[in-house]
Amino acid sequence: MRGELVLFREGRVVKAAAYRVVGEELEIELPGGGSYRVDLERVDRIVDDEVEVEPSAELREPQGVQGLSYDLTYRPQRKPLFGSRYDALIEAEAKRANVDAALVSAVIRAESNYEPRSVSRKGARGLMQLMPATARRFGVSRPFDPRANVRGGAKYLRELADRYDGNPELVLAAYNAGENAVETHGGVPPYRETVRYVQKILSWWTPALAETVEKAAAAPAK
């Protein structure tokens, strides 16, 4: 079954038949009919695909995977993670937040493909597609300013890395679906969108780990 899940900052989850952003509000259409609006600031994430796959909560980071902290000597194995006009900015803000620059670049590629004026239909904005609540949380008052947006997104990745002990699957899952979803499911939430998001970014950042994620997600439940 397809649908949308609106994940609120306070942890509440609402199943929606559809939604649309109206100014600074989100209008939620209910499966049984009717709709209502909420302040977009209250929304943590919106997950498009509710179809569940086998959960990947038991994933473990294989040995030798590049850490999440900033490392000037590290460069991704695959292009084009660097080569955008924002390379210097990404490098500087990644270093400031002590998070790997290649990971920041991979997230930007997945979120906006390096378009600073990008706006999603969910209301996420800028290079790292910050939701209004996330932007406010990290002091980003100008989400379309590349430096401000990347600074906020990198700080968020650093906070997630600290919260999840540097586990890249959980960091990326939380960036996509929110911390509440990760906590509720005890690992990567079993949303097809989120699992694919994690796999995609890891395939760019560190292919060996992405292969592990893919195999774990496809394994039958025990």
Residues 176 and 157 sit within 8 Å (Cβ to Cβ): no
Given the residues 93, 111, 169, 179, the one annotated as active site: 111
Please state, in angstroms and rounded to a whole number, the distance separating the CA atoms of residues 82 and 84.
6
Coarse DSSP helix, strand, coil percentages of the chain, rounded to the nearest 5 percent: 40, 15, 45
Name residue 45's beta-bridge partners.
Answer: 7
Q: Which long-range contacts (CB under 8 A, 24 or more apart) does 31-40 make?
A: 31/3, 38/8, 40/123, 40/131, 40/132, 40/133
Nearest CA among 204, 203, 198, 113 for reference residue 160: 198
Nearest CA among 57, 61, 3 for reference residue 185: 57
- Sign of the C-alpha dihedral computed for residues 20, 133, 113 and 78 taken in this order: negative
193 catalytic per annotation: no
Catalogue the active-site residues.
111
